[in-house]
């Protein structure tokens, strides 16, 4: 059973930056597209960003476009989420996920497309 472990969360002030990492217990080159999701208190989990197997295609939620960057390094079995210009509304538990689906996508894949999930890492942004 594949395991994904997130790290890099924490507390920052508005305007600050954080870099989340998601390390897999096996080669990420065996995964299809991967993604980041988040769940704020009292809200449903939502997609944040997704990246194709080779990293050539990415997609972002409108709320994070231009501020967040998703990347993956299959040689290190790791996916990243660079978060800049953080705002209080970015406060949430962030989850990484991996699928067994390949190919391109024109919008954020739904949660049901992802087979493996991490345990989440808390991001708190204060004003």
Q: Mind listing the pLDDT tens digit for each residue in 72-89?
A: 999 999 999 999 999 999
Average pLDDT for 17-40? 95
Average pLDDT for 103-125? 93
| Residue 34: its H or E element | strand 34-39
> What is the pLDDT, as a whole number, of residue 1?
76
Per residue in 106-116, pLDDT tens? 889 999 999 99
Average pLDDT for 96-118? 91
> What is the pLDDT, as a whole number, of residue 110?
92
Closest of 23, 20, 30 to residue 92, by C-alpha: 20
Say if residues 121 and 94 touch (Cβ distance below 8 Å): yes
Average pLDDT for 14-35? 95
| Residue 20, CA distances (Å) to 23, 72, 102 in order | 10, 11, 23
Q: Would the pLDDT of 95 be above 90?
A: yes
Report d(CA 73, CA 97) in Å as an integer: 15
């Amino acid at each position: 059973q594949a395991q994904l472990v997130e790290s890099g969360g924490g507390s920052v002030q508005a305007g600050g930056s954080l870099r989340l990492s998601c390390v897999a217990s096996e080669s990420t080159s065996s995964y299809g597209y991967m993604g980041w999701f988040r769940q704020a208190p009292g809200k449903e989990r939502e997609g944040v960003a997704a990246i194709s197997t080779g990293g050539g295609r990415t997609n972002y939620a409108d709320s994070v476009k231009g501020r967040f960057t998703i990347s993956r390094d299959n040689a290190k079995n790791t996916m990243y989420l660079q978060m800049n210009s953080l705002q209080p509304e970015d406060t949430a538990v962030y989850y990484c996920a991996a699928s067994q689906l390949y190919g391109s996508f024109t919008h954020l894949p739904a949660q049901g497309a992802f087979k493996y999930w991490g345990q989440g890492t808390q991001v708190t942004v204060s004003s």
